[in-house]
C-alpha cells in the first residue's frame, strides 16, 4: 500500500522538495480509537480533535475516526468546529471553549454544541436562545482542576434552582481530570466523587469525565461518554507504564550533508566540543519545525543529567549532538559504517522506531506538545486505512 500525499495548505512543500516529512498511519489511528472504545466498555467513545487533530490534520483524523465508529467529537474553538462540520455533516461536535458574545452565529450555523464553562457564558447562551430557539449545550463543572467550569456548589445550586428556565436543559455534564496520568493520585477519586454528586443532582443526563488517562482508571470513571485524545494519536497517556497504543506519526528529516570533524573541534552554536574524531550528519530540522531546542546541548536539562534526544538512521540509533538550531540539527553517525550515510537520506526523529514519549522526555515536555508544535514545512504523507 503506497502512501498518498496531501497538500491542502498552499504553504506545504511540493512532493520531492521536502526537507522533512510526516508519515501518518491512518490505520493505526483507527485501531487506537477502537482500542479506547473497547476500554470504555458500555460508554460511548468520542474523539478529541483539538489543535488540527493533534497536529496530523483535523479533516483526515475526523474522517478516520468517523469511519472507525466515532459519532461524538470535541474541538477547542468554534472555528475548528466549523471546519470539521464540512467534513462530517452528521457528527455531534462539541466546542470545549464554549460560547462567548459574538460567537453565537457559528454555533447555530454549523450546529455546534457549546460547552458552557462559566456563569458569564451561561448568560450569553441563555440570551442566544431567548427567542425560543432549541439548541443543545453541555455544562462544564470544575471538580478540582481550577481551569474552566462552574464550581461544584454553583452547579448543584443550578440543578436545584426551581426558577431555572426550561430552555436551559444541558444534554451532558462534563469535567476534566487533573492527575489521571498518575493513577494513585488522591485527586482522581476526589474529582470522581464531586462529579458524581453533580450528575446525581441532574435528572437523566449524559456525563463525561474520562480523558485518555481517565479511561485507563477504570469503569467508575467512564460514565456515558469518554473522550480520548493523546492516546488516539499514539501518545502515552499514563506515566510509568508501557504505552499500549500504536504509533501514528513518524517524523523524518532529510540529511543535507555528512561531514568529518576532529576531536577537540566543536559543533553548532555554543561550540559543543567533540571528544573523538567524528562523522556528523546535518539534518534539515530545527525548532522552527517543532523539533525543540531543549532536545540538544546547552540547556538546563543536559546540565541536570537528562540525556538528549536521538534519531534512527538505517536502523541504528544515533545521538543528537550540539544545539538544535532554527532549521538544522547535528547527529553523530560515527558508529555507522563509513559511507552508509549520505546526503538525501532521511533520519527518523520519532515514530515507529523512536517512541515519541522518549523524545518528549528528552525535551522536558510531553508528547502532546511535540505533536501540536509541528510546523507547516513538513510534507504530510497519509497512509490510507486498510480495507
pLDDT digits (tens, 9 = 90+) for 233-270: 999 999 989 999 999 999 999 999 999 999 999 999 99
- Interval 94-122 mean pLDDT: 96
Q: What is the pLDDT of residue 16?
A: 57
Output the nine-digit C-alpha cell for 51. 489543535
Per residue in 199-215, pLDDT (tens digit) is 999 988 999 999 999 99
Q: What is the pLDDT of residue 224?
A: 98
Question: Which domains are seen in the chain, by residue range?
Answer: 26-233 (3.20.20.10), 249-383 (2.40.37.10)
Q: What is the pLDDT of residue 131?
A: 82
Percent of the chain with pLDDT over 90: 88
Tell me 245's DSSP state: S
Q: What is the pLDDT of residue 166?
A: 67
> Is residue 300 over pLDDT 50?
yes
Model confidence at 168, in pLDDT bands (50, 70, 90)? confident
DSSP assignment of 59-110 equals: HHHHHHHHHHT--EEEESSHHHHHHHHHH-TT-EEEETT---TT-HHHHHHT
Q: What is d(CA 23, CA 5) in angstroms, rounded to the nearest whole number? A: 10
Per residue in 56-70, pLDDT (tens digit) is 999 999 999 999 999
> Is residue 6 over pLDDT 60?
no
Model confidence at 8, in pLDDT bands (50, 70, 90)? very low
Give the least confident one: 61-65, 81-85, 128-132. Answer: 128-132
Q: What is the rounded average pLDDT for all residues in the chain?
A: 93
DSSP assignment of 35-46 equals: HHHHHTTTSEE-
Q: What is the pLDDT of residue 387?
A: 64
> Is residue 5 over pLDDT 70?
no
Which residues have a catalytic role annotated? 50, 269
Percent of the chain with pLDDT over 70: 95
Q: What is the pLDDT of residue 18?
A: 82
Model confidence at 17, in pLDDT bands (50, 70, 90)? low
- Interval 335-360 mean pLDDT: 96
- Interval 148-163 mean pLDDT: 91
Output the nine-digit C-alpha cell for 240. 510509568
Residue 189 makes CB contacts below 8 A (sequence gap 6+) with none
- Interval 307-312 mean pLDDT: 97
Q: What is d(CA 24, CA 176) in angstroms, rounded to the nearest whole number? A: 28
Judge contact between 255 and 338, C-beta under 8 A. no
Per residue in 37-58, pLDDT (tens digit) is 999 999 999 999 999 999 999 9
Model confidence at 7, in pLDDT bands (50, 70, 90)? very low
Amino acid at each position: 500500500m503506497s502512501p498518498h500525499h496531501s497538500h491542502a495548505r498552499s504553504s506545504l512543500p511540493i512532493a520531492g522538495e521536502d526537507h522533512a516529512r510526516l508519515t501518518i498511519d491512518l490505520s493505526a489511528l483507527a485501531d487506537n480509537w477502537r482500542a479506547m472504545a473497547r476500554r470504555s466498555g458500555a460508554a460511548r467513545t468520542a474523539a478529541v480533535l483539538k489543535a488540527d487533530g493533534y497536529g496530523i490534520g483535523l479533516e483526515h483524523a475526523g474522517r478516520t475516526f468517523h469511519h472507525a465508529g466515532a459519532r461524538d467529537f470535541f474541538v477547542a474553538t468554534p472555528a475548528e468546529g466549523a471546519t470539521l462540520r464540512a467534513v462530517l455533516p452528521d457528527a455531534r461536535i462539541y466546542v470545549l471553549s464554549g460560547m462567548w458574545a459574538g460567537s453565537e452565529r457559528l454555533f447555530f450555523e454549523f450546529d455546534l454544541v457549546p460547552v458552557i464553562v462559566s456563569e458569564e457564558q451561561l448568560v450569553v447562551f441563555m440570551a442566544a436562545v431567548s427567542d425560543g430557539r432549541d439548541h443543545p449545550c453541555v455544562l462544564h463543572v470544575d471538580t478540582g482542576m481550577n481551569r474552566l467550569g462552574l464550581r461544584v456548589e454553583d452547579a448543584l445550586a443550578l440543578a436545584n434552582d426551581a426558577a431555572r428556565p426550561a430552555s436551559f436543559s444541558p444534554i451532558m455534564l462534563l469535567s476534566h481530570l487533573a492527575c489521571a496520568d498518575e493513577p494513585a493520585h488522591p485527586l482522581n477519586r476526589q474529582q470522581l466523587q464531586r462529579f458524581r454528586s453533580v450528575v446525581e443532582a441532574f435528572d437523566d443526563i449524559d456525563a463525561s469525565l474520562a480523558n485518555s488517562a481517565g479511561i485507563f482508571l477504570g469503569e467508575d470513571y467512564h460514565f456515558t461518554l469518554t473522550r480520548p485524545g493523546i492516546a488516539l494519536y499514539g501518545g502515552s497517556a499514563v506515566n510509568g507504564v508501557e504505552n499500549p497504543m500504536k504509533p501514528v506519526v513518524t517524523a523524518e528529516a532529510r540529511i543535507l550533508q555528512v561531514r568529518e570533524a576532529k576531536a577537540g573541534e566543536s559543533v553548532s552554536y555554543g561550540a559543543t566540543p567533540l571528544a573523538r574524531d567524528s562523522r556528523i550528519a546535518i539534518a534539515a530540522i530545527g525548532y522552527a519545525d517543532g523539533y525543540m531546542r531543549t532536545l540538544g546541548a546547552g540547556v538546563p536539562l543536559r546540565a541536570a543529567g537528562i540525556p538528549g534526544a536521538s534519531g534512527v538512521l538505517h536502523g541504528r540509533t544515533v545521538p543528537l549532538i550540539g544545539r538544535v538550531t532554527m532549521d538544522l540539527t547535528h547527529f553523530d553517525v560515527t558508529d555507522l559504517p563509513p559511507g552508509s550515510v549520505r546526503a538525501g537520506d532521511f533520519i527518523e526523529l520519532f515514530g515507529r522506531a523512536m517512541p515519541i514519549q522518549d523524545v518528549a522526555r528528552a525535551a522536558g515536555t510531553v508528547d502532546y506538545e511535540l505533536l501540536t508544535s509541528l510546523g507547516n514545512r513538513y510534507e504530510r504523507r497519509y497512509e490510507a486505512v486498510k480495507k
